Structure 1
Amino acid sequence: MGFDMVAVFSQPLLVWIQFLIAMLMYCWRQPRKENFSLRLGLVIAGTAAFTLAASYVGFVSEPRLMGEWSFLTQMVLFGSLPFVMALLTSFCFDVPPWTSVFLTVAAFSTQNVAMGFLGVFYVIMGGLGVVADVESEVIALYPVSVDLLNLVTCILFTVVSYLMCWRFFASKLKREWKTRPQDWSIAAIFVAVVLVEIVFDMSMKSTYNYGLPVFQRAVFGVTKLFICFFLLYSEFQLLYVGGLRHDMAISERLLRERVRQYEVGQATIEAINVKCHDIRHQIRHFGDNGQVVDRETLKDIAHEVEIYDAGVRTGNAALDTILTEKSLACQNRGITLSCIADGHALDFMPDAEIYSLFGNILDNAMEAAVLQGEGKRCVSLIVQRRGGMVSIHEENYFAGELDLSDGLPRTTKDDKDNHGFGMLSIRSLAEHHGGTLAVRAEGELFLLDVLLPLE
């Protein structure tokens, strides 16, 4: 293959490599399908073959495609490329369709950022007379063929651009992240990228045929860069806001459920207290009028009265309700719950928030404790004032390793979409009151600390 063939294939292959690297940069930490290596190999081989074949047809066998029909040809190719790559992403990675769209949009914009920087560089260098102002080079914004100097320059700008996009965008994605199927705004971003970036880019290159001054060409290039960065920023802001909206909806749903449980629990505890109070009076009068009570009856009554010992008095009605409720649940599960709490320290919080906060803390602790052996089924809770802060400290034994994500333990449930929000709710409530949540492991102990400023 001679030099002309290198000129034909070098630039399309360079764009293909850039786009492939950008795709892998955003997709690499996503869940992979079975036979991932084989699937990825097929995608690489197939897209490379298509790139070479399309380049040959467009530049050699049907030169009109990249000549008088160049604008239409490139619009079709570059316009269909993101759609095809979105399908190929779903072929290799175990992600929903809209996640695949999101990743493809991000990769497409990142590749355009790299080529945009390179284009501005060549426009400026051409204006300064450092590189020749060849017509084909001006139209393409970068050299048609790739010699050693152009290759090094392209690699340099690509590395810098990709590192920048990794730092501000790609590193924000997590393995368990995925978009919501109903998030049609991702599709809107996709259309915006295809229309704005591709149409603007092709229109910008066409205007260079009119011999625009270097300054105007540079302004066009910088404008393209701004559009690419703005779309990337908007896309990730949309992801961030959508995630917050989803988490808030879950937290509000949990809080509403806690309010309902609090009302039911409060009524239940009051009924238990009335019953136990009546039983105690009955015991006092058993000896009246010479009545004799057999041992079994007294034993049954004593067992029923034990439930009254589960009642907790902290000075805060909402805290008393949730602690009493969880104490009864711990007794039924064979868990020892020890508690030292200054309920008055929480008087600044609404009852529903107190119920939700401690309900989530104790539910998680009981879930871990019930899996432990004898002697380790215990939960400890301390609520106290420390200076101008309220300290909530909880300890329990747990099995396995503590796997944290964003400072919170990952849920061990299979249905991760509908679990793992207890800790999010705890942190949300803490931050709502200007406080903090911290979790850590020390050996077999799980420790949770919430600090809230006294209001």
Structure 2
Amino acid sequence: MMEQWEKISYIVQLIAACALFMVPYKKRTKFVPRAVLCSGAFVLVSYAVNSMLENRNFSIWIVLYWAAFLLACVLLMYVCLDVNALEAAYCAICACAMQHVAFDINEIYLGLGGGSYLVQVIVYAAVYLLFYHLFVRKINQNDESRVSLEAMFPLATIIIIVWILSVLETSGLEYFRAEAGSRIFYRIIDALCCFYVLWVQINQREKMMLKQELDGINTAWMMQKEQYVIKQEIIDSINRKCHDLKHQLQALRQMTNEEDKEAYFNEMEHDIMIYDTAVNTGNKALDVILMDKGLYCKNHDIQWTCMADGSCLGFMRIEDIYAVFGNALDNAITAVTAISEPEKRVISLKMITQNNILVIQVQNYYETSLHFEQGLPVTTKHDRQEHGYGMKSIRHIAEKYGGTITVDAKDQIFTLQILIPLEQRA
């Protein structure tokens, strides 16, 4: 029975390690069947391969043999988790590092003369639980699962080097044989290296999250300052009009030309309507954007309609709110500014919730010819290297929160619709 277990023990340990690192991440649809089928297939393949290669001298090719297990972990992560290939590799390497530390400690126990299978099981369970507490539960906080090549390279390099040396040390090759005491010392250093690398990685991710939070705070402060400036401009404009009004009322009484009176009343109405740009949607970040864009539209003869409840945007980062609505409205303003017919210089913003889905819709007329690439309109500006990132940014942020965007251009009306699920935002 133990001989059969030895043929699958390593892959089972890796699958258990991978399962722990799957906990914080968003799963793909039909996660359980995917995990069961994939894990079962790996166990069967491992048993078959080890049965065929039993008692064979692998020489240096043993490294490639063990590398197949790492690739299996990457595939398992990618099949089961809603992550890209780079993030799957990151999780797999971390899982292998955790298993390797448990293996090192178990080897130290055996080197000191231990032999109880129960103790070995306890060693693996204790190491896995410790690593879950120290690393796994922190690795994907706030659903921030992005991994860069810069962060991946040192982690992968050190872990793989340590892993290769460990494989060679246990391969039985004459060159890598050592005394029992030296092997115990090597295992201690080996385990500490893996632990240290994971510790550094987690701390780097925490620092990155803190930096993003600080950037968000700075953005919020700048937006509050901008909101103050905008409101102050509106108040100053109204104060000037009120100051002038007492002098102009007397002149207005003496006006006999009805056309002059009507023109003056229209001018006053336009100036007073500026006050309507001060909005209160329930979200301060959205208020700043709508005040800014609304004031611009009033001053540039663009008709502006807005129906938005910002109270449901609490789950979004401030900078994301500013990016989504800022880019969407900037694109709409650019489009209607180029329209020659004043009655078509219209922008409509609507934000509602339907069936636990946040629906954001921006509509505007357009005259220029539009071309699409990968479902998004290509910028009409000449410098495509400096422009055209607005729609991509909107799509990226929507997907970050599990949503989608659709773009429709029909009958000279451009419609941008953003759908973001709210079921898990409570």
> Normalized against structure 2, the TM-score is what?
0.58
Distance 1:298 1:24 in 2: 73
Q: Deviations over 1:41-68 (max 9, x none)?
A: 3311221122112211221xxx3335xx
Distance 1:49 1:418 in 2: 37
Distance 2:108 2:134 in 1: 22
The corresponding residue for 1:22 is 17
How far the C-alpha of 1:26 sits from its partner, in A, is: 0.7
- C-alpha RMSD of the superposition: 4.9
The corresponding residue for 1:43 is 38
- Find the structure with the greater CA-based Rg: 1
Distance 1:65 1:158 in 2: 28
Distance 1:119 1:155 in 2: 12
The corresponding residue for 1:177 is 144
How far the C-alpha of 1:220 sits from its partner, in A, is: 2.2
Change (3 A) 1:92 1:336: closer
1:109 aligns with 2:97: yes
The corresponding residue for 2:86 is 98
How far the C-alpha of 1:193 sits from its partner, in A, is: 0.9
Distance 2:32 2:98 in 1: 24
Could you tell me whether the CA contact under 8 Å between 1:30 and 1:175 is conserved in 2?
no
1:287 aligns with 2:253: yes
Change (3 A) 1:259 1:230: same
How do 1:230-269 residues align onto structure 2 when only pairs under 5 Å count? 230-245=196-211, 254=219, 258=223, 265=230, 269=234
Could you tell me whether the CA contact under 8 Å between 2:106 and 2:120 is conserved in 1?
yes
Structure 2 counterpart SS, 1:286: helix
Distance 2:193 2:216 in 1: 34
The corresponding residue for 1:211 is 179
The corresponding residue for 1:426 is none
Could you tell me whether the CA contact under 8 Å between 1:208 and 1:217 is conserved in 2?
no
The corresponding residue for 1:65 is 57
Q: Percent identity?
A: 11
Distance 1:334 1:48 in 2: 56
Distance 1:188 1:114 in 2: 21
Distance 2:8 2:207 in 1: 37
Could you tell me whether the CA contact under 8 Å between 1:22 and 1:108 is conserved in 2?
yes
The corresponding residue for 1:272 is 237
Distance 2:399 2:228 in 1: 24
Distance 2:67 2:251 in 1: 90
Distance 2:142 2:33 in 1: 21
Could you tell me whether the CA contact under 8 Å between 2:224 and 2:288 is conserved in 1?
no
The corresponding residue for 1:53 is 48
Could you tell me whether the CA contact under 8 Å between 1:110 and 1:228 is conserved in 2?
yes
Distance 1:73 1:286 in 2: 98
Distance 1:74 1:227 in 2: 22
Change (3 A) 1:419 1:95: closer
Distance 1:120 1:81 in 2: 23
The corresponding residue for 1:348 is none
Could you tell me whether the CA contact under 8 Å between 2:106 and 2:123 is conserved in 1?
yes
How far the C-alpha of 1:93 sits from its partner, in A, is: 2.1
Change (3 A) 1:246 1:417: farther
Distance 2:305 2:257 in 1: 32
Distance 2:183 2:8 in 1: 25
How far the C-alpha of 1:260 sits from its partner, in A, is: 10
Distance 2:399 2:229 in 1: 24
Distance 1:77 1:323 in 2: 57
Change (3 A) 1:328 1:52: closer
How far the C-alpha of 1:23 sits from its partner, in A, is: 0.4
How do 1:307-386 residues align onto structure 2 when only pairs under 5 Å count? 307=273, 325=291, 333=306
